[in-house]
Amino acid sequence: MTHLPVPSTRPDGRTTNHDRTESRREAGCEAGYIETYYADGAWCSRRYDSDIPFADGDEELEQIALGSQVARWNRLPHVIRAADGSITETIPAP
């Protein structure tokens, strides 16, 4: 089965264009992960299976810290993406 990126619009009007299946493979996290990424002028953190972030803000390090904490709580890896969408770091699950 081929999965294509599907643009989605969040309630705040921002759009995302991430293919969850390819993202999980690329990150090496088939079971799921927490992701921190940059979209529409804000740093965001979300679960791998959600289009809507659980947090967003202007500060990159603040979002990375928050995403790492949520990943630890859920015993999931934390994938950190650069502003261009490339994976810069994957922190393994505890």
Using the structure block, give the residue that is written with the tokens 């299946």: 21
Given this model, what pLDDT does residue 2 score? 37
Number of neighbouring beta carbons within 10 Å of residue 35: 28
For residue 65, give its domain range.
8-91
Total domains in the fold of the chain: 1
Low-confidence ranges of the chain (pLDDT < 50): 1-9, 17, 19-21
User: Which is nearest to 44 in space by CA: 89, 85, 72, 3?
Assistant: 85
45 and 56 in contact (C-beta within 8 Å)? yes
Q: Which residues contact 80 (CB under 8 A, 6 or more apart)?
A: 35, 36, 64, 67, 87, 88, 89, 90, 91
Q: For residue range 63-88, list pLDDT tens digits in order.
A: 999 999 999 999 999 999 999 999 99
Given this model, what pLDDT does residue 11 score? 52
- Is there a domain that residue 54 lies in? yes
